[in-house]
Amino acid sequence: MTQAAVKVRKVACPSCGETTEYSPTNAFRPFCSQRCKLVDLGDWATEKFRIPDHTPPDLPESE
Ligand SMILES: [Zn+2]
């Protein structure tokens, strides 16, 4: 066992499912590309920030 070579870990891109390298050279890991990363973040953002406007709900006046 003399091989100290870094074994590149492969992961499936969470966005498109494409196999990509999970390594420091892949700036977009665990995504395969910048596009996939942005797409995923975009999805996340639109989901998370889809908050209704700040109108207070009309609470029923029931005591
Ligand atoms: Zn991808």
In the annotated binding site for Zn(2+), the residues are 13, 16, 32, 36
Task: Given CATH 3.30.50.10, say whether it is the number of domain 10-45.
Answer: yes
Domain regions of the chain by residue span: 10-45
Q: Partners of 19 in the beta sheet?
A: 12
Per-residue pLDDT, 13: 94
Task: Specify the pTM.
Answer: 0.55
Q: What is the C-alpha to C-alpha distance for residues 28 and 25, in angstroms, rounded to an integer?
A: 9
Tens-place pLDDT, residues 16-61: 999 999 999 999 999 999 999 998 777 766 666 666 667 777 778 7
Tokens 């390298």 belong to: 21
Annotated binding-site residues read 13, 16, 32, 36
Rounded distance from Cα 22 to ligand 1 centre (Å): 12
